[in-house]
């Protein structure tokens, strides 16, 4: 299920000696000049072009390499955001939107060295988000963990994921519906060719992401196009089996194109001449609108099947993986629907019956309303387990015989309204990056000075776990509670909370996950995963 990055916590800055980072750096396109971060011993380079502008004749085509530039490029300003509906953002400026948006940002430690690289793919349901949002500022993570942090933009919505046979026929690679994902691979390729100039080691690259970005990390593991471009993966709340079958994507594309009035004989030209606003999806509530509309397609070029099926078949890049979810992934999103906290039991049953169809009775035999304070909380549990919890567990089971896997669940919920929000989807992201002082509606709603101070010890531990994994492929390190590698016998999971614990996945939870992994939610209807 597609969901959005929604919140960052304000965390106190750690004053460090200001680095000297203004010396121009040579890239394959020319010289670029960054800046020294004012709070951390890190150098920042913002808005580096990794692909040619995807405009005009390059709209709805795979990315092309960027052209060289003259002089010294000023890499001190946050780049434009890719076209998207205006929604609550994680500290981003949606007044700065441009179709010319294929940029990335780099933060490196100010000290000399050759550092491992973490390339981050943002979430947002493949329709919103940007690597330039403040929540993804990599200065603290780079400075304190000794890694190079790269965050990227990629095309979103119809511009990134429109699938049509006419677009496929005009491409020599016969690809369609994957322009945004191919942007990610082009960013990985650009980083491979250039990251050494920014003190990064191109032979030690971790591809990472959350939500849509977590799914994208799974796609990188399954796609032959990315096989030589990374060495490890971090998958945060990523629904790894959600690669769209091409016929489904083409049907959706046809329905969208019909609203534009384009004729089939000149469809490509018509699409490339459309004003930008006609190609940007509306910002409807994803819970109400039926889940994921956009995403990677199984087009035979990027992917031949979904990533989980590739893992089941052994056809994937077997690398160390850090994977997990939050405890209450879906809980926050129903708050946008008035009155949900008071929905009676019979209404929850009606909703779940509509979603699960023939699987309803089997599913409800595994959940009891008596376990939950309100009936809607049972819906939260079922939706969380179905959309993300069961999928992360399944990936851990599949990959752990082939490579080290570190499995977690983020349980910290000490927000201003813990009963309403729980440990919701995306709450762990500001813990990974170290947090920022943000000023947007949802941050004010959830975070305050007290919760920020209470979170700080866990922030430090999570940053250390993630940094250790990027550096060594193992999250463990001095001063941290031991995080055992996952195996299919002990089934141990690290619980990230005010007190970090290691627990076996409960038998009841495994029973639920095994049942839920027999089907997936496609258009919010339960169907067998083989279909």
pLDDT tier, 4 (very low <50, low <70, confident <90, very high otherwise): very low
Q: Are 143 and 38 in contact (CB under 8 A)?
A: no
**Is 329 tagged catalytic?**
yes
- The 3-state DSSP class for residue 78 equals coil
Q: Which residues contact 522 (CB under 8 A, 6 or more apart)?
A: 248, 531
Say what the pLDDT of residue 11 is: 32
Q: Are 440 and 356 in contact (CB under 8 A)?
A: no
Say what the pLDDT of residue 91 is: 58
CATH number at residue 238: 3.40.50.1820
Query: Over the stretch 240-275, which tens digit does the pLDDT of each residue have?
Result: 999 999 999 999 999 999 999 887 778 999 999 999
Whole-structure pTM value: 0.92
Closest CA relative to residue 188, chosen from 95, 118, 113: 118
Say what the pLDDT of residue 531 is: 34
485 located within any domain: no
Query: In terms of DSSP bridges, do strands 115-121 and 200-210 run parallel, antiparallel, or are they unpaired?
Result: parallel
Say what the pLDDT of residue 138 is: 96
3 located within any domain: no
174 located within any domain: yes
Say what the pLDDT of residue 139 is: 96
213 located within any domain: yes
Backbone φ and ψ for 451, nearest 5 degrees, come out as -70, -35
**Is 425 tagged catalytic?**
yes
List 166, 208, 425, 428, catalytic entry? 425
Closest CA relative to residue 292, chosen from 247, 333, 242: 242
Say what the pLDDT of residue 339 is: 65
Residue 136 CA, distance from chain mean position: 11
Angle between helices 345-356 and 375-384 (to 10 degrees): 20
Integer angstrom CA distances of residue 430 from 199, 433, 434: 25, 5, 6
391 located within any domain: yes
- Mean pLDDT for 167-175 is 95
Closest CA relative to residue 69, chosen from 36, 26, 108: 26
Total number of residues shown for the chain? 531
- Sole residue written with tokens 């001449």: 273
Query: Over the stretch 352-368, which tens digit does the pLDDT of each residue have?
Result: 998 888 889 999 999 99
Query: Over the stretch 30-55, which tens digit does the pLDDT of each residue have?
Result: 999 999 999 999 999 999 999 999 99
pLDDT tier, 526 (very low <50, low <70, confident <90, very high otherwise): very low
Identify the weakest region by mean pLDDT among 78-92, 94-108, 162-176, 221-235: 78-92
Distance CA 363, CA 382 (A): 8
Domain count, the chain: 1
HSE value, Cβ hemisphere, 13 Å, CA-based, for 216: 34
Q: What is the rounded end-to-end Cα distance, in angstroms, of the chain? A: 17
- Mean pLDDT for 63-82 is 97
- Mean pLDDT for 269-298 is 77
Say what the pLDDT of residue 283 is: 52
268 located within any domain: yes
pLDDT tier, 88 (very low <50, low <70, confident <90, very high otherwise): low
- The phi-psi region of residue 380 (left if phi > 0; otherwise alpha if psi is between -120 and 50; otherwise beta) is alpha
2 located within any domain: no
SS3 content of the chain, % helix, strand, coil (to 5): 40, 15, 45
| pLDDT for residue 378 is more than 70 | yes
12 located within any domain: no
List 130, 208, 211, 400, catalytic entry? 211
Query: Over the stretch 104-135, which tens digit does the pLDDT of each residue have?
Result: 999 999 999 999 999 999 999 999 999 999 89
Say what the pLDDT of residue 389 is: 96
Distance CA 450, CA 107 (A): 29
Query: By residue range, what is the domain housing residue 240?
Result: 25-477+490-528
- Mean pLDDT for 420-437 is 84
The DSSP element (H or E) to which 157 belongs, if any, is helix 157-161
List 99, 144, 166, 329, catalytic entry? 329
- Mean pLDDT for 181-198 is 99
For residue 251 the two structure tokens come to 């049907």
Say what the pLDDT of residue 472 is: 98
| pLDDT for residue 429 is more than 50 | yes
**Is 211 tagged catalytic?**
yes
Identify the weakest region by mean pLDDT among 54-63, 313-322, 354-363, 504-513: 354-363
| pLDDT for residue 422 is more than 90 | no
């Amino acid at each position: 299920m597609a969901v959005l990055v929604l919140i960052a916590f304000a965390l106190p800055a750690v004053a460090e000696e200001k680095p000297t980072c203004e010396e121009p750096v040579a890239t394959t396109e020319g010289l670029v000049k960054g800046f020294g971060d004012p709070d951390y011993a890190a150098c920042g380079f913002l808005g580096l072009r990794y692909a040619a502008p995807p405009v005009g004749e390059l709209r709805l085509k795979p990315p092309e390499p960027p052209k060289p530039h003259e002089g010294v490029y000023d890499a001190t300003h946050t780049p434009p955001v890719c076209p998207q509906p205006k929604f609550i953002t994680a500290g981003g400026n949606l007044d700065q939107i441009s179709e010319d948006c294929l940029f990335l940002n780099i933060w490196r430690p100010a000290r000399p060295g050759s550092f491992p690289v973490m390339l981050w793919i943002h979430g947002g349901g493949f329709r919103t988000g940007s690597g330039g949002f403040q929540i993804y500022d990599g200065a603290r993570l780079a400075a304190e963990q000794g890694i190079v942090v790269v965050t990227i933009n990629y095309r979103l919505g119809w511009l990134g994921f429109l699938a049509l046979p006419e677009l496929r026929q005009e491409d020599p690679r016969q690809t369609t519906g994957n322009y945004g994902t191919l942007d990610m691979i082009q960013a990985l390729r650009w980083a491979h060719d250039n990251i050494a100039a920014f003190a990064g080691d191109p032979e030690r690259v971790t591809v990472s992401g959350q939500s849509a970005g977590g799914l994208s990390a799974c796609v990188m593991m399954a796609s032959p196009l990315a096989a030589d471009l990374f060495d490890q993966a971090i998958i945060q709340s990523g629904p790894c089996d959600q690669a769209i079958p091409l016929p489904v994507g083409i049907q959706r594309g046809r329905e969208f194109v019909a609203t534009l009035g384009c004729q089939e004989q000149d469809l490509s030209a018509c699409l490339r001449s459309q004003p930008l606003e006609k190609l940007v999806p509306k910002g409807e509530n994803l819970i109400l609108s039926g889940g994921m509309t956009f995403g990677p397609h199984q087009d035979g070029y990027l992917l031949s099947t979904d990533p989980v099926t590739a893992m089941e078949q052994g056809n994937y890049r077997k690398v160390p993986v850090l994977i997990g979810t939050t405890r209450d992934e879906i809980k926050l999103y129903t708050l946008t629907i008035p009155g949900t906290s008071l929905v009676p039991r019979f209404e929850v049953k009606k909703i779940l019956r509509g979603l699960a169809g023939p699987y309803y009775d089997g599913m409800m035999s595994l959940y009891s309303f008596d376990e939950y304070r309100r009936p809607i909380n049972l819906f939260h549990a079922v939706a969380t387990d179905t959309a993300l919890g069961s999928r992360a567990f399944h990936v851990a089971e599949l990959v752990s015989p082939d490579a080290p896997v570190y499995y977690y669940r983020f349980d910290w919920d000490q927000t201003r309204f813990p009963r309403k929000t729980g440990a919701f989807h995306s709450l762990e992201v500001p813990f990974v990056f170290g947090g920022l002082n943000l000023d947007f509606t949802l941050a004010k709603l959830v975070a305050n000075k007290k919760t920020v101070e209470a979170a700080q010890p866990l922030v430090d531990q999570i940053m250390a776990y993630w940094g250790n994994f990027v550096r060594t492929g193992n999250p463990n390190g001095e001063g941290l509670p031991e995080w055992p590698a996952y195996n299919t016998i002990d089934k141990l999971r690290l619980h990230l909370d005010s007190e970090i614990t290691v627990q076996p996945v409960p038998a009841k939870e495994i029973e639920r996950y095994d049942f839920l992994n027999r089907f997936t939610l496609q258009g919010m209807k339960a169907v067998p995963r083989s279909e």
